[in-house]
Amino acid sequence: MGTIWFWIVALMLTAYVVFDGFDLGVGAVYLWVARTESERSQALRSIGPVWDGNEVWLIAAGGTLFFAFPLLYATAFSGFYLPLMIVLWLIILRGISIELRGHSSDPLWRTFFEALFCVSSALLTVFFGAALANVVRGVPIGADGYFFLPLWTDFRTGDNPGILDWYTVLGGVTALTALSLHGVLYLAMKTQGNVEERAMQLSKYAWIATAVLSATGIPATILARPASLTHYLSHPIAFIFPFMAFACLVVLRFSLSKGLQFSCFLASCGYLSSMFLGAAFGIFPVILPSVGIHGKDLTIDQALSAPHTLRVGLVWWSVGICLAVMYFCIVYRLFRGKVSVDDASYEH
Amino acid sequence: MNALTLDRIQFAFTITYHYLFPQLTMGLALLIVILKTLAFRTSEADVAQNYDSSARFWGKLFAINFLIGVVTGIPMEFQFGTNWAEFSRRTGGVIGMPLAMEGIFSFFLESAFLGLLLFGEKRLSRRMHWLSAFLVFLGSWISGFFIIVTNAFMQHPVGYRMLSNGQFEVTSFQDLLLNPWAWLEYAHNMCAAVVTASFFMSAVGALYLLQRREGPYGRTFLRIGVIAGIISCTAQVFPTGDLHGKYMAKHQPMAIAAMEGLFHSEKGAGMVLLGQPNYETETIDNPLVVNKVLSFLIYGTTSAEVEGLDQFPKDQWPSTLPLLFYSYHIMVGLGTWFGALTGFSALLLWRGKLYSSRWVLWPILLSWPLPYIATTAGWMTTEIGRQPWLVYGLIRTSQGYSSHVTASNGLFTLLGFLGIYSLLSFLWVILVYNHVQSGPPVADRDRAIALTA
C-alpha cells in the first residue's frame, strides 16, 4: 500500500512538473522571446486558459501527501519552513502579475507586471529544483524526528547543510534551464510569427545548456549522496530512467532540426518525467533521506497513514483523478492550435 | 511573543484574509448561474443579451476574486505542515482526507471550467457555456463543503479512533463526511456566502441607479441582488442558524454560554442584546436583556435551564472570552440589519418603487462591506468558541504547533504575509473599482449583439 501511494504522489508531482513546468518556463523566458506589447499578450494568451489548472496539480499533490504520509508532511513542511514560505509568496506574486497585466491599461504598469511575472516564475523554478535536490541529498533529521534547515550555511553538503549548497544550487539552475527549454518549446508550438521564431532559436541554446547540466547532475548526485548509486546498482532496472531521459534529449535534438514542434514538446515532457521519476526511484523506499549523525531516514512505512484510510482513499482518488484527466482533455482540446498575434478569442 | 502566539496570529490572519474572497466567489458563482439561466431561457434577443453581458461582467469580477482566493488559499494548506506540524502529524490521516478530496474533486473542476467560462464563450455552444458556469458553481460549492468537513472534525470529531502514538485514524469514512455538525455549518455558511454576493450585486445596481447610468444593468443587478438577498438572509436565520445554534448548545454548551455572556446557569435565561462581559465580576456591564428568550431559542420552552460558564472549569474557558462575546453579537446584530434592509427593499421592489427610491438605494450601496464583517465575526465565533482546543476535547492548541520553528522565524513570515496581503488589498480595491466604474458595455450594445450573433 505504501509503495502504491509513494508512486501516486510521485506521479502527481510529475504531472505538476510537466504541466505547470511549461507555464513557469514561459514566464522565465517571456521577456526575451516576446518583445512588443502584442507579442507579450500573445505569449500570455497561450497559457491563459490553462495555467491556473496546471497549478492545481501542486495543491492536489500536497493534499494527497498530507493524508497519505502525515508524518512526512509535518516533518518536511516545518523543516523547510523558510523556503516554503518564500515559495508561497512567489506563487502569490506570480498569480497576480498574470491577472493584473491583463487588467492594466497603462503601459508602465504592464511592464512592471511583466517583469514581476518573469522574475517570480524564474525564481520559482530555481526553488523547485533546489527543493528536489534537497530531498535527494537528505536533511539533518534530529532524534525527535524533526529538523529545521536554515537558508544556507557554508554551501557544502556535509552534516550541516543549508537549503542552498553547491549541489542544490546546481539542481536549481538545472531546473531553470530544463523548464525554460520546456517553456520555449510550448511557446513555439502554440504561437506564430516573431514569438515562434525566437522561441525556436532560443530552444537550441536551452537544449545545449540542459544537456550539459543533466550530464553534470548524475556524477554530482553520486557525490552528494553515494547511497543513490548503491540503490540503482541493486535494482539495475532503474537505469531505464536516466536512459529514457537521455533518449528523450536525443529525440528532442533530432526533432528540433526537423522543426517538428509537437514532437519536441512531447520529448521534453518525457525528459522531465524521466528525470523526476528517476530522482524518486533514487530515494525509494525512503521518503526523506537523512544526513548527519543522529539521523535515521524517514521511510514510507513510518510515514504512512492507517490502512483503512488508505483503502478508502484509493477508491475516491481513482475516481477523482479520472475526472480530472477528463477535464484536462476537454480544456486542452478546446484551446488546441496556435494563438495568432491578434486573436481576440483568448481574451476575457 | 512566543512561537505559539505568533503561529496563532499568523493562521488567524491568513485564513480571515483568505476567506474574504471565497465567500464572494461562492455566492457569485450561484448568481452567475442564475444570470446565465435567465439568458438561456428568454427568447427575446435583447433581454438575453442583457443577461449575457451581466454574466460576463460578473464573470470578470469573479475571476479577480477567484484568483486572490486561490493564491491566498495555497498558504492555508501549507501552514498545516509548516506551523502546525504536531497537529498535522497526529490528525493528517483524518483531516488530510477532505483536504485532498477538495483538491482532486473541486479545484480541477473549478479551474478547468473557469477557463472555459472566461475564455470559451465564442468557442462553445450556449448550452456548453451555461454548463461551464454551472460546473464552476458546483466546483466552488464542493470545495466549500470539504473545507467545512475539515473544520467540523476539529469542532466535533466523529468517525475516528486514536492510536497509541497519539495519531488519529479514520474508522468511518461515512461518519466523517456525514458529520451533522458539518452539514449544519455548511448550510449556514453557504447562506452567508450568498448574502455577501447578493449585497455586492445590489450595491453595484444601486450605484448605477444613483449615478443615473443608461442601460438596464442597474435594475437587473438590484432586482436579482435583492431577491437572492431576501431568500439567503431568511435561510441564514431560520432554519440554518437556529439549527446550528441548537446543535452547538448540545455539544459545545460552554461556547454558547460564552457567546451569550451567561456566566451563571439560569432557568428561563434571557438574551443579552447589548453589554460588555466583565471577566472580574462575572457579570455583564450595561446589560440590555430580553427575558427568557435564550431558553426558548435553545430548548423551545421559556422555562428551560441554560448552563452558564460556572458549570465548567475556568482553565477550559475560551482564552479570549470577550472577543467571542463581541464577535457573536456583531454577527447577530448585522444579521438583523440585513433582514430588515432586504425585507424592506423586497417590499419596495414588489410594489415597483425600489428603482426610484433613492433614500433606500443609499443604504443598499453602503451596506456591501457589512456581510464581510458579519461572516468574519461568525467565523471568529466558531473558532474562538473551540478554544482552548484544536480538536475539540482531544488536542489542545498549545500541543499542536511546530515547536522547532522559532518565534523569530514566525515573526518574519507573519510580517511577510502582512506586507504581501496589504499589497493585494490595494490592488483589489483598484481593480474592483475600475471594473465596477466601467461597467458592462452599454454604448457598444449593437456591436456586442453582432459579435455573439
Task: Closest CB to B102: pick one of A63, A74, A313.
Answer: A63
Interface of A with B in 125-184 (CB under 8 A): 144, 146-148
Q: Which of B88, B100, B404 sits opposite A64 (nearest CB)?
A: B100
C-beta atoms of B171 and A308 within 8 A = yes
- Among the partner residues B96, B103, B412, nearest to A70 by beta-carbon distance: B96
For the residues B420-446, what does the mean pLDDT come to? 85
pLDDT band with cut points at 50, 70 and 90 for residue B452: very low
Q: Which of B87, B108, B146, B176 would you mutate first to test chain A, the one with the most A CBs within 10 A?
A: B108
Q: Tell me how close the Cα of B106 comes to any Cα of chain A, in angstroms.
A: 9
- Yes or no, beta carbons of B67 and A64 under 8 Å apart: no
- Which residue in chain A is spatially nearest to B63 when comparing CA positions? A99
Helix (H, G, I), strand (E, B) or coil at A286: strand
Mutate to test the interface with A, among B66, B72, B82 (most CBs of A within 10 A): B82
Q: Kindly state whether A112 is in contact with chain B, defined as any CB-CB distance less than 8 angstroms.
A: no
Instruction: Say what the pLDDT of residue A343 is.
Output: 57
For residues A102 and B406, what is the distance between their CA atoms, to the nearest angstrom? 40
* pLDDT at A273 (0 to 100): 95
Q: Please give the average per-residue pLDDT across B330-342, as a whole number.
A: 94
Per-residue pLDDT for B189 more than 90?
yes
Closest chain A residue to B103, measured at CA: A60
Closest-CA residue of B relative to A75 is B85
Q: Do A331 and B115 touch (CB under 8 A)?
A: yes
Q: Note the pLDDT of residue B298.
A: 84
**Mean pLDDT, rounded, of chain B:** 90
Residue A62, Cα to own-chain centre: how many angstroms?
14
Query: What is the tens place of the pLDDT at every residue in B8-26?
Result: 999 999 999 999 999 999 9
Q: Which set of grid coordinates corresponds to residue B287? A: 446589560
pLDDT tens, residue by residue, B80-136: 999 999 999 999 989 999 999 999 999 999 999 998 998 888 888 889 999 999 999
Q: How remote is the C-alpha of A86 from its chain's centroid?
A: 16
Q: How far is B47 from chain A (nearest CA, A)?
A: 22
Residues 168-197 of B with CB under 8 A from A: 169-171, 173
Three-state helix/strand/coil letters over A191-238: ECHHHHHHHHHHHHHHHHHHHHHHHHHHHHHHHHCHHHHHHHHHCHHH
Contact A241, A274 (CB under 8 A): yes
B269-287: per-residue pLDDT in tens? 888 888 888 877 888 888 8
Q: What is the pLDDT of residue A347?
A: 53
pLDDT band at B453 (very low <50, low <70, confident <90, very high): very low
Of B64, B123, B413, the CB nearest to A99: B64
A347 touches chain B (CB under 8 A): yes
> Positive or negative CA dihedral for A229, A233, A234, A238?
positive
The A residues from 238 to 267 touching B (CB cutoff 8 Å) are: none
The tens digit of pLDDT for each residue in B376-391 reads 999 999 899 888 889 9
Residues of B in contact with A317 (CB under 8 A): 100, 104
A148/B111 Cβ within 8 A = no
Quote the minimal CA–CA distance from A339 to chain B in Å: 13
pLDDT beyond 60 at B302: yes
Which site among B66, B119, B150 would you substitute to test the A interface, given the most A Cβ atoms closer than 10 Å to its Cβ? Answer: B119
How close B264 comes to chain A (CA, Å)? 42
- List CB contacts (< 8 A) between B59 and chain A: 348
Query: Is residue B67 within 8 Å of residue A53, measured between CB atoms?
Result: no
- Residue pLDDT, tens place only, B388-417: 889 988 998 988 888 888 899 999 999 999
CB contact, 8 Å: B7 with chain A? Answer: no
Contact A21, A179 (CB under 8 A): yes
Contacts B112 to A, Cβ<8 Å: 53, 327-328, 330-331
pLDDT, tens digit (0-9, with 9 covering 90-100), for A13-24 = 999 999 999 999
Q: What is the ipTM of this complex?
A: 0.91
Q: Inter-chain contact B169–A348, Cβ cutoff 8 Å? A: no
Query: Which ranges constitute the DSSP H helices of chain A?
Result: 2-33, 37-47, 51-68, 70-79, 81-103, 107-137, 166-190, 193-224, 226-234, 240-258, 261-283, 300-303, 307-334
B196 with A336: CB under 8 angstroms?
A: no
Q: Residue ranges of chain A with pLDDT lower than 50?
A: none
What integer pLDDT is reported at residue B443 of this predicted model?
53
CB contacts under 8 A, A 310-339 vs B, are 312-313, 316-317, 320-321, 323-324, 327-328, 330-331, 334-335
Residues 6+ apart with CB under 8 A from B359: none
B239 to chain A, closest Cα gap in Å: 32
Taking the C-alpha atoms of residue B167 and residue B309, their distance in angstroms, rounded to an integer, is 31
Which residues from chain A sit within 8 angstroms of residue B123, using beta carbons?
334-335, 345
Q: How many C-beta neighbours within 10 Å does residue B414 have?
A: 20
Contact B151, B389 (CB under 8 A): no
Parallel, antiparallel, or unpaired: how do β-strands A298-299 and B160-162 relate?
Answer: unpaired
Q: Which residues of B are less than 8 Å from A50 in CB distance?
A: 115
Q: Is the minimum CB–CB distance between B123 and chain A shorter than 8 Å?
A: yes
In a mutational test of the B interface, the residue from A59, A328, A335, A345 whose CB has the highest number of chain B CBs within 10 Å is: A59
Closest CA to B166 of B251, B94, B101: B94
Chain A / chain B CB contacts < 8 angstroms? 225
Q: What is the number of other CB atoms lying within 10 angstroms of the CB of residue A263?
A: 17
Predicted local distance difference test score (pLDDT) of residue A342: 65
Whether B225 contacts B202, CB under 8 Å = yes
pLDDT, tens digit, 9 for 90 and up, residues A145-169 = 888 888 888 778 777 788 888 989 9
